[in-house]
C-alpha cells in the first residue's frame, strides 16, 4: 500500500527524502492554513506538523489518518486527547533539538551580559567607537548563577555548558526533582529560590494546564533588579503584559524571548520594541544540524507507526 503523508510546514530534505525512499507520497503544503490542510488531508495516513494548530476539525477531515508527528518536542498545538480518542498515534522528536536550544540559552546569557543591542547600535549606526569606554554595565558569566525552571534534557545540556564551560553556578527546580537525580554541578532548590537567587532565570517547561500563565508579576518581584529572564519553552507560560510591565519599570534588567503567547506575534507587541529585550522568532532549535535530526527522526518515527512497529517516542498511549 502506498501511504500519503501530509506536511503542513517546512521540513528538512533529510526527512522528505527518507519518506520518499520508502515509497510514500508527500503532500507538501508549507504555510497552509486550516482550510488548506482540510482540503489536502482527507486521504492521508500521516500528518507532519511544526506549529500549525491541529484541531478536531482537521482530524475529523482526515478519514484515513493513523499518525500525527510533531517536528519538535511540545505538542500543545495538537489536540492529543481527541487524536487518542480516535485511535490516532501522536509522536514527536524530543532529542533532536536539545543541543541547539541549549546553545541558544547560552547565547541569550552572553547577549544580555554584554548588552549587544546597545553596543551595536552605538557603534554601527551612530559611529560611537568610544561606547566601549562609556558602557559600564557589561559583565562576565563566570561566577554568575543560572536558574533553571524545569530540568529536562535541554535544561541539563544548558547547565553543563554553563557550569563546565563558563564556570557558572547552576540551580534548578522541578516538582519531583531531587539532588540525587542530577549531576553535581546542578544544585536543586525551591521554585522561589530559582527566582530569588539567579542572575538568569531560564524557563524550560512544557505548556500544560499547570504551567500556562504560571509566571507573572509575583515571580518578577522575587527576581534581582539585575537579573534576566530567558524563555525558549512556550510563550503561554508567561503572562506577557506583566512581563512587559516589569521590563518597562526596570523591575528586572531584561529578557531574552524566543517564544510568544501568540505566534507569530503582532508587530505592535511591545516585547519586539523594548530596548532591554533580545527577541528571536521561535528559532532556538533552527540550526542545520537540528533541522536535519528532527526531520530524519520524525520521518523514521512515522514509518514505524505506519509499518505497525512500536514508536520510539510516543506522546499518547493507545489501547
For this structure, is 273 an active site residue? no
The pLDDT score that the predictor gives to residue 306 is 96
Residue at grid coordinates 500543545: 76
For residue 13, how far is the Cα from the chain centroid?
22
Q: CA-CA distance, 217 to 178, in Å (whole number)?
A: 27
Residue 104 a catalytic site member: no
Of 66, 282, 291, 296, catalytic: 282
Q: Are 272 and 282 in contact (CB under 8 A)?
A: no
Catalytic residue among 36, 140, 142, 263: 263
pLDDT at residue 283 is higher than 90:
yes
pTM for the whole structure: 0.90
Percentages of the chain per state (helix, strand, coil), in multiples of 5: 40, 15, 45
Instruction: Give the architecture (CATH level 2) of 98-279.
Output: 3-Layer(aba) Sandwich (3.40)
Percent of the chain with pLDDT over 70: 98
Catalytic member of 104, 156, 234, 293: 234
Q: Is 304 a catalytic residue?
A: no
Q: Is the pLDDT of residue 186 over 70?
A: yes
pLDDT (tens digit per residue) in 2-15: 899 999 988 999 99
Q: Spell out the domain ranges in the chain.
A: 4-96+288-306, 98-279
Question: In this predicted structure, what is the pLDDT of residue 1?
Answer: 66
Residue with the three cell numbers 527576581: 223
One fold for 4-96+288-306 and 98-279: yes
According to CATH, the superfamily of the domain at 4-96+288-306 is: NAD(P)-binding Rossmann-like Domain (3.40.50.720)
Mean pLDDT of the chain: 94
pLDDT, tens only, 226-257:
999 999 999 999 999 999 999 999 999 999 99
Amino acid at each position: 500500500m502506498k501511504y500519503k503523508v501530509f506536511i503542513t510546514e517546512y521540513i528538512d530534505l533529510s526527512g522528505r527524502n527518507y519518506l520518499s525512499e520508502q515509497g510514500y507520497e508527500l503532500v507538501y503544503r508549507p504555510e497552509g492554513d486550516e482550510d488548506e490542510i482540510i482540503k489536502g488531508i482527507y486521504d492521508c495516513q500521516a500528518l507532519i506538523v511544526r506549529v500549525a494548530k491541529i484541531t478536531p476539525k482537521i482530524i475529523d477531515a482526515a478519514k484515513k489518518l493513523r499518525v500525527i508527528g510533531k517536528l519538535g518536542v511540545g505538542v500543545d498545538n495538537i489536540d492529543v486527547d481527541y487524536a487518542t480518542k480516535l485511535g490516532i498515534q501522536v509522536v514527536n522528536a524530543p532529542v533532536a533539538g536539545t543541543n541547539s536550544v541549549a546553545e541558544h540559552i547560552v547565547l541569550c546569557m552572553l547577549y544580555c551580559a554584554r548588552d549587544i543591542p546597545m553596543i551595536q547600535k552605538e557603534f554601527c549606526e551612530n559611529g560611537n567607537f568610544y561606547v566601549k569606554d562609556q558602557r559600564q554595565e557589561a559583565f562576565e558569566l563566570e561566577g554568575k548563577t543560572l536558574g533553571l525552571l524545569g530540568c529536562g534534557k535541554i535544561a541539563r545540556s544548558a547547565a553543563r555548558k554553563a557550569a563546565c564551560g563558563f564556570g557558572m553556578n547552576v540551580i534548578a527546580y522541578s516538582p519531583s526533582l531531587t539532588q540525587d537525580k542530577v549531576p553535581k554541578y546542578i544544585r536543586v532548590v525551591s521554585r522561589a529560590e530559582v527566582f530569588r537567587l539567579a542572575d538568569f532565570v531560564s524557563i524550560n517547561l512544557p505548556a500544560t494546564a499547570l504551567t500556562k500563565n504560571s509566571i507573572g508579576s509575583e515571580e518578577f518581584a522575587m527576581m534581582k533588579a539585575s537579573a534576566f529572564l530567558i524563555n525558549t519553552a512556550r510563550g503561554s507560560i508567561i503572562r506577557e503584559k506583566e512581563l512587559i510591565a516589569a521590563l518597562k519599570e526596570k523591575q528586572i534588567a531584561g529578557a531574552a524571548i524566543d517564544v510568544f503567547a501568540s505566534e507569530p506575534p503582532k508587530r505592535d507587541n511591545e516585547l519586539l520594541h523594548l530596548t532591554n529585550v533580545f527577541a528571536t522568532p521561535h528559532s532556538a532549535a533552527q540550526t542545520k544540524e537540528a533541522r536535519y535530526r528532527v526531520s530524519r527522526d520524525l520521518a523514521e518515527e512515522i514509518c514505524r507507526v505506519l509499518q505497525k512497529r512500536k514508536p520510539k517516542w510516543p506522546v499518547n498511549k493507545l489501547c
